[in-house]
Structure 1
Amino acid sequence: MNDRSHFTVYSVIFFTSFIIISMEILLVRIFSIKEGQSYAPLIISLALLGNGISGVILGYIRNKIEKNLLEFFIAETFLFTLSIPLSFFLYLAVPLNTLEIIWDVKQIFLFLFHFIILVIPFTTGSLILATGFLFKLKSSNIYFFNMAGSASGAILPLILLHFLSPFWALTVIYFTFISIFFLCLLIWEKKRVFSFLLITVFLSLICYWLTEKLNLISYSPYKAISYALNLPEAKILLTKDTPYGKIELVTAKGLRKVNGLSLIFTGNIPQQKLLYIDGNHCGTFLSSKDKKELEYLKWQSCSFPFYFIENQPERKILLINPSGSESILRGIIFGISNITAIEENKYIASLIEREFSNNNSIKIINTEARKFFKTSIDKFDLIDVSLYDSYATSPILSLNENYLFTVESLYEMYNLLSSDGIISLTRWAIYPGIDAIKIFSSIIEMCERYGIPEYWKKILFIRSHNTVTLCLSKTNLPKENIISLTRKLGFDILYHYTLKKEMLNQYFEESEYLNFNTITNILSEKRIPYIKDFPFDIKPTTDNRPYYHNIFKIKTLKDILSRSLQFLPFNEWGSGILIILVTFTLLSGFILILLPSLFLVSKEKATGCIKLLKSFLYFFLIGNAYFFVEIPLIQKLILFLGRPIYSFSIVLFSMLLFSSIGSLISSKIKEKYQKILLSLLPLILLISLFTVNYLNKILLSASMLSKVLITLLLIAPQALLMGFP
């Protein structure tokens, strides 16, 4: 092979790796819009499964490929570039509802169809990469272009998503890089490659045109925005594609949504403009500023602590992630003139800022909440945490990290309170109500850990028909005001240190789990064994264990099975759907990879058998090594970098980029020195994990650019060594 041929192989490997990683990231975003759930673990499983299947295929036809290596390489490239638009179009054209997969047999077959067509591009792409190793080229160079392409593919989609929808980002990446693909291959064989290019472009254009024409990338009918758009005179006022999700502002005749409203409220509710991210309701904007029309804001459970500072304009309140104008207007109608709102989403922050541009007493700050807690020198009389953080871009929250409700974060909030300040947190009271219980458990742990005196006298827990509001004060909360207010507003007291049993359940029936007995047990001396024996996971969340929404335990499964399986997708156990899908993927891996591999090994002679087993074990261990290094780093760096998407992209980019450099330079380092360097790898990994915790304590307030550079420096040493083939 000459230098031009080397360039062609390396280029095809680079761009194949690029497209595979880009496709993974963009499919996660497309799934969020189309299915109502990102199913990120499923997408990663599909990519890994395709990788494994390609290895099995190569094992069976390797001899044939080696005889006609060039022809196979060109054919594989053609199949890969053609499989992407065809698979994508068929996935969109054939409807699937994963929420019905448990009881509708038809959905199982549709999922199987989707599964097969989506794994094909990952299989054909991985086959190109595997075939690249059959060329007589340095393996270190092939690893370099493979990992460098993957690293680039982890970053470009993030940039494009600031300007384009996931569909158009995928379209731009696809057509740009298939052009480069075929230009590289034209060096080898012009006539056949040019024919392949024409066929691919023609079929791809048809697929993408039909996708756009038939509006196949539409929201699931079960998403909140679908209901809103079915109302009379529905209109989308604003649309913005962002890496965090597609933001839309919708108005419609009769469009109203109010959480935790008292059932005895008899006034009118004005028409609202609702904000959606990926089709899920995440905030409310009100056109009216008339106090009479906004009276309903005083009758929600989250408004309860505002009564303690009503008509005291000198008081200062802090609103965490208000996601609209509703929380700010509540402060205004309660007579508070000094309002600070922290909004982490910069696009939503700009909308809120525009809404209150004429009011100088309202300060909108676009920053991470934890960063603000660390740097603020102000003291607040009320810190109100919005309910809207619980509207995620997917119904499965249990896999999402949340650093706002950890023990450490709650203590940082507590330190921002004035001498008689109050923290107010509103959560859902919908069955089983574990959301509220878990945050109560975290507050008790915080008070115990940091020595808050007589904290049980400073806690108030009230509920409406569908929300609960938990208050933690710096001082004891007065009994008389609380009783009169709950009677006036029609709310039940779940806990106050003076509460008597005859005062329970005045307006609502006691929940099976969210009740006075559960709360008093968590407050008692037997708290630890009680939490351990509780049917759900209600352990306090910490910065080292930030899975606030994860409530699943083996005991939970018994509770699910004792009810109807059809009940599964519509509450906090929605992660069961994901477990079923990933289990199916693992079973497919066993059938499509492990069994054929064992059959292939059994046909080999003893020496060949040992060689194959060593090869399987080698790549198995490499894959697991990257998995167990990347996942903890991604999880740990979410708090430091501020957003999961930043942590995921930067860690993946850094690991792949520096591993590719390590692979490239490894051929220039003598083997004995490589062994010495690799022996230091476990120590470097341990140091990096401890360093992340240290970074969160002292550098959380640093600029984003500084954080990215620090992250690159942190990951570089271990990734370089892991790149040694």
Structure 2
Amino acid sequence: MRKDILLFYIAIISISSSQLYLEVSLTRIFSITQGYHWAFLVVGLALLGSGLSGTCLVFRKGLYKNKGIEHLRVLSIIYPLSIILAYLEITLLQFDPYVMPWSRVQFLFFFLNLTSFLVPFFFSGLIISLSLILFSERHSTLYCMTFIGSSIGSIITLFLIPITDEFGAILVCALLGFLSSILLCRDDPKYYTISSVLFLFSLYVLIYRPFNIPLKLSPYKDMAQILRLPDTEILETHRNVNSRIDIVESPTIRYAPGLSYKYRGRPPSGLGLTVDGENLRGIITSNHFTDYLPQTVVYLLKETPEVLIIEPVGGLDLMLAMNRGVKNINVLFEDPVQIDILKRYLHDTSQVNFIVEHPRVYLSQSRELFDIIHFPLGESFYVITSGSYSLKENYIYTVEGFKSSYSRLNPDGMLLFTRWLQRPPTEELKLFNIILTGLRELGIGDPENRIVAFRSLNTMTFIVKKGDLIYKEIEIIKRFTGSMSFDFVFLDGLTPIEANRYNVLPDDIYYRYFQELFYNSNFSDIYPFRIDPPRDDKPFFFHFFKIDQIDAILKNWGHTWQPFGGAGYIVIMTVLSLIILISFIFIILPFLIDKTKPPKTYRVSNFSFYFFIIGLAYMFVEIPIMQRLILYLGKPVYSFSLTLSLLLIFSGIGSSLAIRLKKCPVLFILGSILLLLSFLISSVIEKTLGYPFYCRVIISTVMIGLSGFLMGMPFPLALEKAKGHSVDIIPWCWAINGFASVLSSFLSTILAIHIGFTAILAIGGTLYLLAGLILTLTPDKRNEQDVS
């Protein structure tokens, strides 16, 4: 009996590992095929599937009251099969969200894609919720096993995703599911044989790969577009948890953003790279044109400088520094694969000091000072009005990020930024706002004496000096911009005539808007796009959307080519809202229609509110903590898995001990700790970001450990009370909790854009306090008035 229970626990761990690994894999697949912002759907769909399983069990009580163990075995075989079928469906029927205004077929494809993602999570949720009912006397231990399994799933992503392609990752998820099925079916020869054969066949396909099913990229991806051209091929593909990097060879790749039209030659062609199929940048192996780039000017101002270049993907800005004869070059990347690429494709890089670290962590840790810190273009040109990248975090372009880099400059050192030139101005204005805000917060009362901005045909360059610009430096900059036909946008004492000389505009909106932003403190509020400076608590540099834009967007809907007509953000919000609506229809609405199913009395209904609140609260705590600690720990490939696994492990431990601590005011303690953490987390991160990695891991473990330990208790504590009323309440509670989790997974992200992660964390703490009050007012035992 003891062995049977142990094997059953291992099966639950395997299912939970597969579920989380599938979630991460689908997130990566969605990032590659559609884009980073669409990956948020996966989290919601996973939670929706889990919630639907609870609704199913409420309406189909026969699943657990008649032959419950047999149904569990059948479901354990169906689950991994559904993973493979879902992958086949999304590769064969890829939807295009931006042609939905014209094509009804795309709505069908979209629905089929959502369904295919949803089904595996529905079956895995059904297995776990069915297990909680069948073995309700062990519910706290089973709940603990789901946390442990999920933590294992988050850890194995570190090792498996970099060495498998997307189809291989799906097969690994299926293998974990079939392993669970083997354990659950060991006493039934028929089902045991089926699960064993499927396990061995999947293992054979994974190892020997007799066939492959590659992904199809969105037609808007850079990779998809360039592969349509003749003589184009993918030379190499590298993978890690965060990204897929492809090296492409094509005679059409020519990469020199901002190049002066005074240059009479041709930029070199041949090699380029993309990250998740986007941001195509050339791998620069020749330097004969680099003197004509806007960035060159800073090297005319400094002799023998100590230079730090932040993530020069493709090597353009590194090649420029090398061409200028700089001897002390430091290049910083988060991803070591990017360094390996530069070392292999660029000529002699022996004088370059390559560093692997998150830029913010390195700038906080390093005691070294630099003469030049260069922030190159890190993205392809985005049509900012699309709003499709609003949900993308960036901790470099925040006020805190600017101040951190500014503090690492030598006296008279310079920051160099390059951004795309947008029309209307957006990212240029937002960066200018970051610079002004950062300088003013550092106590610099005359920032205009330290800033220069000028534009080429398609880029804008910013120079920020640690100290006032002197006459000689200004003259060098003027001679350079004049010789290259670059136009000034901001310089102390600049006149409109001086600003619009070469790339002449009928209305020089760049000069005008920069002047208005500098002199008018209310300009950000009245500007049609959001250009207020982002903070670490709201690190959304590419979020430019304002609610006032909705009328114009809806008027153009269907009349302009999406996402280039400005509706990208609306599409994202519409899809997220649709997922929430589907959750309501399939989880809550059936109970409103069939009023014989849900519990009736106010005492039992308390559980509905309680499980809804803790479903909201968990994600409201998990997402802010993970976001803040990913910056804090650096190395996002590892910190994501470390943070998530620690949270899940401690939650699992808390779940297993919940019943023993049921007399303690757990939820009130938890809510109080989270409220305190919301006030302290920003200052703790800021003051200790420069600590060694092991110290930051210890501090993170302390922050996660106590919170995670207590967060694992609310669900089993209430489930123990619910059993006193009726075991039939369990699937109802599971469904309500699932719906709330779907809602909170989206709300926490969207609200963070507007009010910040710290506020979301504080809301989570308040919700736990409210849940504690509800649980306290709910009696332990069922009485004659309670009806199941």
The TM-score with structure 2 as length reference comes to: 0.83
Q: Which residue in 2 is equivalent to 1:278?
A: 276
1:415 aligned residue (407, 410, 415): 407
Residue range with higher mean Cα deviation, 615-624 or 433-442? 615-624
Q: Which residue in 1 is equivalent to 2:153?
A: 153
Per the TM alignment, residue 207 of structure 1 is displaced from its structure 2 partner at its CA by 9.6
Alignment map for 1:317-396 (pairs within 5 Å): 317-354=307-344, 358-389=348-379, 396=388
Q: Which residue in 1 is equivalent to 2:722?
A: none
Supply the AA of the counterpart residue of 1:127.
L
8 Å CA contact 1:8, 1:187 repeated in 2:
no
Per the TM alignment, residue 63 of structure 1 is displaced from its structure 2 partner at its CA by 4.2
1:680 aligned residue (669, 688, 698): 669
Per the TM alignment, residue 445 of structure 1 is displaced from its structure 2 partner at its CA by 0.6
Supply the AA of the counterpart residue of 1:470.
F
Measure the CA separation in 1 of the matches of 2:607 and 2:505: 60
Deviations 1:303-343 (A, max 9, x none): 3333333xx3x222221111232212211323333222222
Q: Which residue in 1 is equivalent to 2:611?
A: 619
Q: Which residue in 1 is equivalent to 2:756?
A: none
With over 3 angstroms needed to count, the CA separation of the structure-2 counterparts of 1:580 and 1:498, relative to structure 1, is same
With over 3 angstroms needed to count, the CA separation of the structure-2 counterparts of 1:344 and 1:695, relative to structure 1, is same
Q: Secondary structure at the match of 2:109?
A: helix
Alignment map for 1:427-506 (pairs within 5 Å): 427-473=419-465, 474-476=467-469, 478=471, 479-506=474-501
Q: Secondary structure at the match of 2:419?
A: strand
Per the TM alignment, residue 231 of structure 1 is displaced from its structure 2 partner at its CA by 4.2
Q: Which residue in 2 is equivalent to 1:291?
A: none
8 Å CA contact 2:365, 2:691 repeated in 1:
no
Per the TM alignment, residue 120 of structure 1 is displaced from its structure 2 partner at its CA by 0.9
Per the TM alignment, residue 632 of structure 1 is displaced from its structure 2 partner at its CA by 1.3
With over 3 angstroms needed to count, the CA separation of the structure-2 counterparts of 1:721 and 1:536, relative to structure 1, is same
Q: Which residue in 2 is equivalent to 1:301?
A: 294
With over 3 angstroms needed to count, the CA separation of the structure-2 counterparts of 1:512 and 1:500, relative to structure 1, is closer
Measure the CA separation in 2 of the matches of 1:4 and 1:361: 61
Per the TM alignment, residue 439 of structure 1 is displaced from its structure 2 partner at its CA by 0.8
With over 3 angstroms needed to count, the CA separation of the structure-2 counterparts of 1:506 and 1:516, relative to structure 1, is same
Measure the CA separation in 2 of the matches of 1:102 and 1:644: 37
1:538 correspondence with 2:531: yes
Supply the AA of the counterpart residue of 2:314.
G
Q: Which residue in 2 is equivalent to 1:652?
A: 644
Measure the CA separation in 2 of the matches of 1:46 and 1:377: 45
8 Å CA contact 1:569, 1:576 repeated in 2:
no
Q: Which residue in 2 is equivalent to 1:98?
A: 97
Residue range with higher mean Cα deviation, 690-699 or 40-49? 690-699
Supply the AA of the counterpart residue of 1:465.
L
Per the TM alignment, residue 194 of structure 1 is displaced from its structure 2 partner at its CA by 2.1
Alignment map for 1:244-263 (pairs within 5 Å): 244-263=242-261
8 Å CA contact 1:431, 1:571 repeated in 2:
no
With over 3 angstroms needed to count, the CA separation of the structure-2 counterparts of 1:270 and 1:707, relative to structure 1, is same
Supply the RMSD in Å over aligned alpha carbons. Answer: 2.9
Residue range with higher mean Cα deviation, 381-390 or 87-96? 381-390
8 Å CA contact 1:434, 1:513 repeated in 2:
no
Measure the CA separation in 2 of the matches of 1:366 and 1:651: 20
1:287 correspondence with 2:285: yes
Per the TM alignment, residue 705 of structure 1 is displaced from its structure 2 partner at its CA by 4.2
Residue range with higher mean Cα deviation, 396-405 or 622-631? 396-405
With over 3 angstroms needed to count, the CA separation of the structure-2 counterparts of 1:341 and 1:351, relative to structure 1, is same
8 Å CA contact 1:50, 1:126 repeated in 2:
yes
Q: Secondary structure at the match of 2:436?
A: helix
8 Å CA contact 1:260, 1:301 repeated in 2:
yes
Alignment map for 1:186-225 (pairs within 5 Å): 186-195=185-194, 197-198=196-197, 213=211, 215-225=213-223
1:315 correspondence with 2:315: no
Per the TM alignment, residue 167 of structure 1 is displaced from its structure 2 partner at its CA by 2.6
Q: Which residue in 1 is equivalent to 2:769?
A: none
Q: Secondary structure at the match of 1:419?
A: strand
Supply the AA of the counterpart residue of 2:576.
V
Measure the CA separation in 1 of the matches of 2:503 and 2:589: 57
Per the TM alignment, residue 597 of structure 1 is displaced from its structure 2 partner at its CA by 2.1
Measure the CA separation in 2 of the matches of 1:359 and 1:4: 59
8 Å CA contact 2:247, 2:273 repeated in 1:
yes
Alignment map for 1:91-170 (pairs within 5 Å): 91-136=90-135, 137-170=137-170
Alignment map for 1:600-619 (pairs within 5 Å): 600=594, 602-604=595-597, 608=600, 610=602, 613-619=605-611
Supply the AA of the counterpart residue of 1:520.
Q
Alignment map for 1:38-117 (pairs within 5 Å): 39-63=38-62, 65-117=64-116
With over 3 angstroms needed to count, the CA separation of the structure-2 counterparts of 1:434 and 1:212, relative to structure 1, is farther
Q: Which residue in 2 is equivalent to 1:552?
A: 545
8 Å CA contact 2:274, 2:281 repeated in 1:
yes
Measure the CA separation in 2 of the matches of 1:200 and 1:579: 39
Supply the AA of the counterpart residue of 2:311.
N
Measure the CA separation in 2 of the matches of 1:571 and 1:635: 31
Per the TM alignment, residue 158 of structure 1 is displaced from its structure 2 partner at its CA by 2.5
With over 3 angstroms needed to count, the CA separation of the structure-2 counterparts of 1:703 and 1:395, relative to structure 1, is farther
Structure 1: tracts of 5 or more residues without a match = 289-293
Alignment map for 1:575-586 (pairs within 5 Å): 575-586=569-580
Per the TM alignment, residue 357 of structure 1 is displaced from its structure 2 partner at its CA by 7.8
Supply the AA of the counterpart residue of 2:612.
F
Per the TM alignment, residue 420 of structure 1 is displaced from its structure 2 partner at its CA by 2.7
Q: Which residue in 1 is equivalent to 2:752?
A: none
Measure the CA separation in 1 of the matches of 2:347 and 2:262: 35
With over 3 angstroms needed to count, the CA separation of the structure-2 counterparts of 1:690 and 1:284, relative to structure 1, is farther
Q: Which residue in 1 is equivalent to 2:764?
A: none
Residue range with higher mean Cα deviation, 126-135 or 474-483? 474-483
Supply the AA of the counterpart residue of 2:455.
R
Deviations 1:570-626 (A, max 9, x none): 3886333321221211121122112112224x1259x64546633432321221111
With over 3 angstroms needed to count, the CA separation of the structure-2 counterparts of 1:121 and 1:253, relative to structure 1, is same
Q: Secondary structure at the match of 2:289?
A: helix
With over 3 angstroms needed to count, the CA separation of the structure-2 counterparts of 1:91 and 1:50, relative to structure 1, is same
Measure the CA separation in 1 of the matches of 2:667 and 2:198: 48
1:243 correspondence with 2:232: no
Alignment map for 1:502-513 (pairs within 5 Å): 502-508=497-503, 510=505
With over 3 angstroms needed to count, the CA separation of the structure-2 counterparts of 1:604 and 1:388, relative to structure 1, is closer
Residue range with higher mean Cα deviation, 425-434 or 107-116? 425-434
Structure 2: tracts of 5 or more residues without a match = 717-788
Deviations 1:243-294 (A, max 9, x none): 2212222223342122112234222212242122222235432333xxxxx3
8 Å CA contact 1:460, 1:477 repeated in 2:
no
8 Å CA contact 1:370, 1:404 repeated in 2:
yes
Residue range with higher mean Cα deviation, 504-513 or 222-231? 504-513
8 Å CA contact 2:376, 2:417 repeated in 1:
yes
Q: Secondary structure at the match of 1:544?
A: coil
With over 3 angstroms needed to count, the CA separation of the structure-2 counterparts of 1:209 and 1:363, relative to structure 1, is closer
Measure the CA separation in 1 of the matches of 2:360 and 2:256: 28
Larger RCO (alpha carbons 8 Å, 6+ apart): 2
Supply the AA of the counterpart residue of 2:527.
F
8 Å CA contact 2:591, 2:597 repeated in 1:
no
Q: Secondary structure at the match of 1:400?
A: coil
8 Å CA contact 1:30, 1:38 repeated in 2:
no
With over 3 angstroms needed to count, the CA separation of the structure-2 counterparts of 1:429 and 1:571, relative to structure 1, is farther
Supply the AA of the counterpart residue of 2:292.
W
With over 3 angstroms needed to count, the CA separation of the structure-2 counterparts of 1:489 and 1:563, relative to structure 1, is farther
The TM-score with structure 1 as length reference comes to: 0.90
Q: Which residue in 1 is equivalent to 2:742?
A: none
8 Å CA contact 2:255, 2:267 repeated in 1:
no
Per the TM alignment, residue 715 of structure 1 is displaced from its structure 2 partner at its CA by 0.8
With over 3 angstroms needed to count, the CA separation of the structure-2 counterparts of 1:493 and 1:256, relative to structure 1, is same
Residue range with higher mean Cα deviation, 300-309 or 238-247? 300-309
Per the TM alignment, residue 214 of structure 1 is displaced from its structure 2 partner at its CA by 6.1
